[in-house]
Copies of this chain bind each other. A is one copy, B any other.
């Protein structure tokens, strides 16, 4: 099929220019969380808008939010055909720790089949790839359906203004289907589609003791140390089997079916690969489940941060007045995300000694887990596009991460998403030496072309 598709042929002819455009994009340090990059964020938004113009999208605009703007563009000249809303983001994570990078994080260095640079995998490659697919279709017979692009600038800071933006622009964003390109596949030759996403609840637990930091020699051993109490509370949040002990935590957690367990067992991800990717000495987790089940199908509780007392160089003999843990839970579908805060508070209330005071603070609004319909029109279009591009049947997987926009679009616009992107598990997104596997970037463009074609022809 690919041999006769002029859009695919066009995409293959223009690898060199596409790559050089992507290098330009990745070299813009669009770090949304750092105010010193505000100018770079504007630059990146303008760069995306210019690309939209260049591929022929209309009504291109940089729309303000309370934070960084959204870049919007559309092509609505296929009456009777579905409208696909393409979702992506142009912002990236901070590059630190800088001294662990082997190449400059914002230079987009190409070495062989790999591009190194912050944002190359998450997700400038995928944003650029969807636009290049549109370009290839437009120059070779025309774009066969209606598309709208929503490329936001705050995904890496929790998409905090996106809900309000969607509320304000409901008509503009109305569509039949969302193509969410902020996703990945299992391995370079192993196409996959994410159909399950875990939800998220995120808290700070504060433990308070003395009114101010005290001299640990004069007072140590006679009053409760908040740092120690915090450690005791955290230590008790898992039992010896690695299960979360918050009361009621596993209510509504569905047992895996035989079929699902068989599907997980077939995933060609081994524990050895997992150790190589993470650098951890061993895998571990909830007893009775495999690594892929633990990250894809089971709810978890992780400590994201700890802070108490003196943490600088050397010795300060302080008995800290307070101690804090950042604690987040990944939730599976059917778990009630709004009940988690109460479970955490109940746990702390039952276990904290009277020698301290404590507080649980909600850090972000919680999001429930999501299950997408594997048989939807969009999922079938994506599946066929992957099969034709990679020459292998894609695997449906439930992912460990959370993509709040999927829930937002379901809740606010009744819009279902298809997750189709080309990151790899070892791309080191959010860490130093983030990379993009270029053969997948190119195959991604071809997959996007076929996806748009498949959605259009399914509507015939």
Task: List B contacts of A227 (CB < 8 A).
Answer: 234, 303-306, 325
Q: A304-B317, A305-B320 are in contact. Are A326 and B355 (CB under 8 A)?
A: no
Q: Could you tell me if A220 and B309 are in contact, using CB atoms closer than 8 angstroms? A: no
Task: List B contacts of A308 (CB < 8 A).
Answer: 303, 305-306
Does A223 touch B at the CB level, under 8 Å? yes
Q: A213-B430, A217-B402, A284-B355 are in contact. Are A307 and B304 (CB under 8 A)?
A: no
Query: What is the distance, in angstroms, from A82's C-beta to the closest C-beta of chain B?
Result: 30
26 residue pairs bridging A and B, Cβ less than 8 Å apart = A157-B314, A200-B217, A202-B315, A209-B281, A210-B279, A217-B400, A218-B295, A221-B295, A221-B400, A222-B294, A222-B295, A223-B282, A223-B283, A223-B284, A227-B304, A232-B235, A234-B235, A235-B236, A281-B355, A304-B318, A304-B319, A305-B310, A305-B316, A306-B307, A306-B311, A314-B363
Bound-state Cα–Cα, A247 to B78, Å:
76
Task: List B contacts of A314 (CB < 8 A).
Answer: 157-158, 363-364
Bound-state Cα–Cα, A236 to B230, Å:
12
Bound-state Cα–Cα, A355 to B430, Å:
23
Q: Could you tell me if B431 and A212 are in contact, using CB atoms closer than 8 angstroms? A: yes
Q: A158-B315, A228-B238 are in contact. Are A354 and B281 (CB under 8 A)?
A: yes
Does A324 touch B at the CB level, under 8 Å? yes
Bound-state Cα–Cα, A353 to B307, Å:
23
Query: What is the distance, in angstroms, from A264's C-beta to the closest C-beta of chain B?
Result: 12
Task: List B contacts of A428 (CB < 8 A).
Answer: 212
Bound-state Cα–Cα, A252 to B247, Å:
44
Q: Could you tell me if B354 and A282 are in contact, using CB atoms closer than 8 angstroms? A: yes
Does A2 touch B at the CB level, under 8 Å? no
Does A334 touch B at the CB level, under 8 Å? no
Q: A225-B302, A228-B234, A274-B223 are in contact. Are A432 and B212 (CB under 8 A)?
A: yes
Does A168 touch B at the CB level, under 8 Å? no
Query: What is the distance, in angstroms, from A208's C-beta to the closest C-beta of chain B?
Result: 9
Q: A311-B305, A401-B215 are in contact. Are A224 and B328 (CB under 8 A)?
A: no
Does A300 touch B at the CB level, under 8 Å? yes
Copies in the complex: 2
Assign chain A's interface to a size class. 35 or more
Q: Could you tell me if B285 and A311 are in contact, using CB atoms closer than 8 angstroms? A: no
Query: Quick one: which of A335-391 are within 8 Å of B by CB?
Result: 353-357, 363-364
Query: What is the distance, in angstroms, from A353's C-beta to the closest C-beta of chain B?
Result: 7
Task: List B contacts of A198 (CB < 8 A).
Answer: 217
Contact with A429, one of B215, B278, B429, B432 (Cβ below 8 angstroms): B215
Query: What is the distance, in angstroms, from A424's C-beta to the closest C-beta of chain B?
Result: 11
Contact with A282, one of B217, B236, B294, B355 (Cβ below 8 angstroms): B355
Binary contact track A142-185/B, C-beta < 8 Å → 1, others 0: 00000000000000011000000000000000000000000000
Task: List B contacts of A298 (CB < 8 A).
Answer: 221
Which are the 5 A-B pairs with shortest beta-carbon distances?
A211-B279, A217-B401, A221-B300, A235-B235, A227-B303
Query: What is the distance, in angstroms, from A381's C-beta to the closest C-beta of chain B?
Result: 26
Query: Quick one: which of A187-243 are within 8 Å of B by CB?
Result: 198, 200, 202, 209-225, 227-228, 230-232, 234-238
Contact with A215, one of B213, B223, B234, B430 (Cβ below 8 angstroms): B430
Q: Could you tell me if A217 and B356 are in contact, using CB atoms closer than 8 angstroms? A: no
Does A330 touch B at the CB level, under 8 Å? yes
Does A286 touch B at the CB level, under 8 Å? yes
Query: What is the distance, in angstroms, from A299's C-beta to the closest C-beta of chain B?
Result: 8
Q: Could you tell me if B230 and A306 are in contact, using CB atoms closer than 8 angstroms? A: yes
Does A425 touch B at the CB level, under 8 Å? yes
Does A100 touch B at the CB level, under 8 Å? yes
Q: Could you tell me if B302 and A326 are in contact, using CB atoms closer than 8 angstroms? A: no
Does A291 touch B at the CB level, under 8 Å? yes
Bound-state Cα–Cα, A317 to B303, Å:
9
Q: Could you tell me if B431 and A213 are in contact, using CB atoms closer than 8 angstroms? A: yes
